[in-house]
Every structure is written in C-alpha cells, then in structure tokens.
C-alpha cells in the first residue's frame, strides 16, 4: 500500500492499485466446477464487470485545472462584488470554513469531487479578499505574487523531473513535521489576531516589519515548495502503482492547497520587501 507523508494525500486507502472487480461463479474465474463457462441463471453466476479505470497524469492535470479555474473565478467574483464593509468578515469566514473543508476532504475515506470544488470556491473568496487588501496598499503586488507562484511551481516541477529528485522517508518526515508545526503556529497566531493580540510572527498589512516576520514567511514559502515536491512524488508513484482514477481528484486537491499556501506566503513576502 502506498502511503504519503503529505497531510492532504495521506489517506490510508489513497493511491492504492485499482483492483479489477470481476464477477465469477463459485467454481472459478468465469467457469463452473466442471470447467464450463458461466451463463445467466447458472448457480453462482455473476456478470463480469469492467475493471476500474486507472489514474493518469492527464487526469491529475485536468482535475487540477478545473479546481484552479473554480478558485480563480470565485476569487474574481469576490474581488468585484463583495462590498468594502464586508472585506474582513468575508476574509475571516472563508478562511475558517475553508480550513474546515480541508479537514473534511482529507479525512474522508473516498475523495468527493463535489467537496473539492466547494473548497476551491470557498478558498477563492479568501484569495479574492486577501488579494484585495494587499492590492489596495501595494499596487501591482497581486500580479507579482501570481507570477511568482506559478514560476516557483514550474521550476520545482522541472527540478523534480530533470534532476531526478528522490523523496526519501527521512525527507518526508522532516517536511511533514515542519509543516504541521508551522500550521499550528499560524493557527494560534490567527486566533490571537482575531481577539486583537499582535504577535511578532506576522506583521500587519502596513507598518514596520521585523526580521522574525520575514523569516516566518520565507520559511512558509520554502515549506510550500517542499510540499509541492511531496505532491509530485506521491502522484507519480500513485500513477505507477495503478491508483483508481477517482484519486486524481485527491491529487488535484493536494496541489491546489499547496499552491494557495505558496501564493499567500509570496504575497506577504512581497509586501514586506516593498515596505
């Protein structure tokens, strides 16, 4: 069984080979105990079912494109139509609901395409609102962050393929422990921010920036890139092992979550540099 250290892709039954499901009589594979072919009405007969489709790289690319398209459309609609007094409530609510949907998708036994697209739509509202905030103070920063995100993802994929990067268990363990620790720290910081308590882990959207805040965002961007490596490796191994086609949605979901994380960290880093 193929397991991943990526928290989004680490379902126990995710990316295991798709087992052909053939209905057979009790006497064997399509025959009765006397070697005769099974036929409708015969004891123990069951109709032959087609084997489940296997996941391919094209599947993952297609599903990722669909998920990202929903996210981008949702972000654009939020940017254009959410009124200014609702910017902050929409940002906070979409962040909390999006986090809940991430956990729901990650812990479900079978991936749900509907939930993946719901996540994309909700996260699109979050991206639209946080982008609107930063663009208000730093004109052109959203375009820079988008270009930086896709450039970083492209370079990471190229390096993974051309330099034949191998993901070892030790590398997986380091990345996943660091990612969980980072996520918990950011969650605590977010909860403090909601009650008006500022911490040095994150600087405000304006004002002075400390070295710790810059270091935290830089660390977040590096961890996001390393998680992209885990995503690429896991999807590649899943395809090689013949994972069920439905798991392409889980691969698309993992990539989308990581890309969103990378974009937000780059947005913050660029704002720090422009101060």
In 3D space, the residue among 252, 267, 271, 202 whose CA is nearest the CA of residue 9 turns out to be 252
pLDDT value, residue 20: 42
Q: Residue 32 pLDDT > 70, yes or no?
A: no
Q: Which residues, other chains included, contact 115 with Cβ-Cβ below 8 Å and sequence gap of 6+?
A: 101, 104, 105, 108
pLDDT value, residue 41: 54
In 3D space, the residue among 238, 233, 231 whose CA is nearest the CA of residue 7 turns out to be 231
Which structure tokens are listed for 205?
């959207």
Task: For 161-196, write each residue's pLDDT tens digit.
Answer: 888 888 888 999 999 999 999 999 998 888 888 787
In 3D space, the residue among 134, 125, 139, 121 whose CA is nearest the CA of residue 86 turns out to be 125
pLDDT value, residue 256: 94
pLDDT value, residue 218: 94
Contact yes or no for 124/264 (Cβ under 8 A): no
Q: Residue 44 pLDDT > 70, yes or no?
A: no
Contact yes or no for 203/213 (Cβ under 8 A): yes
Q: Which residues, other chains included, contact 145 with Cβ-Cβ below 8 Å and sequence gap of 6+?
A: 131, 134, 263, 266, 267, 270
C-alpha 179, offset from chain centre: 13
pLDDT value, residue 42: 53
Parse the chain into domains and list their residue ranges.
Answer: 57-273
CA distance 270 to 141: 7
């Amino acid at each position: 069984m193929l397991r991943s250290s990526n928290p989004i892709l680490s379902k126990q039954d995710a990316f295991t080979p798709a087992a052909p499901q053939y209905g057979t009589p009790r006497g064997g594979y399509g025959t009765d105990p006397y070697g005769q072919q099974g036929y409708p009405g015969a004891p123990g007969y069951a109709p032959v079912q087609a084997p489940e489709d296997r996941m391919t790289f094209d599947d993952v690319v297609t599903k990722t494109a669909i998920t990202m398209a929903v996210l981008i459309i949702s972000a654009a609609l939020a940017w254009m139509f959410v009124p200014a007094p609702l910017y902050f409530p929409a940002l906070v609510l979409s962040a909390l609901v999006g986090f809940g949907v991430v956990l729901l998708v990650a812990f479900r036994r079978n991936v749900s395409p509907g939930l993946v697209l719901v996540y994309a739509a909700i996260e699109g509202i979050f991206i639209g609102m946080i982008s609107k905030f930063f663009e208000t103070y730093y004109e052109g920063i959203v375009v820079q962050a988008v270009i930086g995100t896709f450039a970083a993802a492209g370079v990471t994929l190229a390096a993974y393929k051309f330099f034949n990067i191998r993901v070892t268990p030790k590398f997986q363990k380091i990345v996943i422990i660091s990612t969980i620790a980072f996520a918990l720290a950011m969650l605590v910081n977010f909860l403090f921010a909601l009650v008006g308590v500022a911490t040095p882990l994150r600087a405000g959207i304006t004002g002075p920036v400390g070295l710790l805040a810059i270091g935290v965002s830089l660390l977040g961007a590096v961890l996001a890139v390393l998680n992209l490596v885990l995503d690429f490796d896991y999807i590649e191994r899943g395809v090689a092992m013949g994972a069920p086609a439905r798991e392409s949605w889980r691969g698309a979901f993992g990539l989308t979550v990581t890309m969103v994380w990378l974009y937000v960290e780059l947005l913050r880093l660029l704002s720090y540099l422009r101060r």
